[in-house]
Amino acid sequence: MLKNIPSIISPELLKILMEMGHGDEIVIGDGNFPAESIGACSNAVVVRADGHSVPALLDAVLTLMPLDQYVERPVALMSVPAGDDTVPEIWNEYRAILKKHSPDNCEIEMTERFAFYERAKKAYCIVATGETAIYANILLKKGVV
């Protein structure tokens, strides 16, 4: 055990967060996100966090990792496709968490589903969660301390 490390952060995820450099990206995917298949066709490391929610992991990750302050939008969400009337209420939780940790640098980019998948293939890490909300995938670009 270590002091001040959120208990939801596994040793594997802590190591990865330490390895990531400025501009590297991490995806925290919901339970429907194809983490393993995207990880298999890319260099992204897949970390399993089954049973955990995306908001809890987002809060824990942002306790340790700064967002990139040199880009306009250091956060990306998977947008809801045209014709789908889903309203992802979880996004409001994300906005509150982002504002808590990075109040001056928490702009969000909305990314089409397949473009999000392509971007995820270039991510350093994909965290696969047990989140049941749909359109709950979030991508973070690491900043500097």
**Per-residue CA distances from 86 to 51, 82, 128 (Å):** 23, 10, 22
**Per-residue CA distances from 6 to 2, 30, 61, 116 (Å):** 9, 20, 8, 28
Question: For this structure, is 101 an active site residue?
Answer: no
Q: What is the DSSP letter of 108?
A: E
The secondary element (H helix, E strand) that includes residue 61 is helix 54-64
**From 52, 68, 94, 124, the catalytic residue:** 68
Cα(110)–Cα(106) distance, integer angstroms? 13
| Biggest alpha carbon–alpha carbon distance for the chain | 48
R_g of the chain, CA atoms, integer Å: 14
Question: For this structure, is 117 an active site residue?
Answer: yes
Question: For this structure, is 24 an active site residue?
Answer: no
**Catalytic residue IDs:** 22, 68, 117
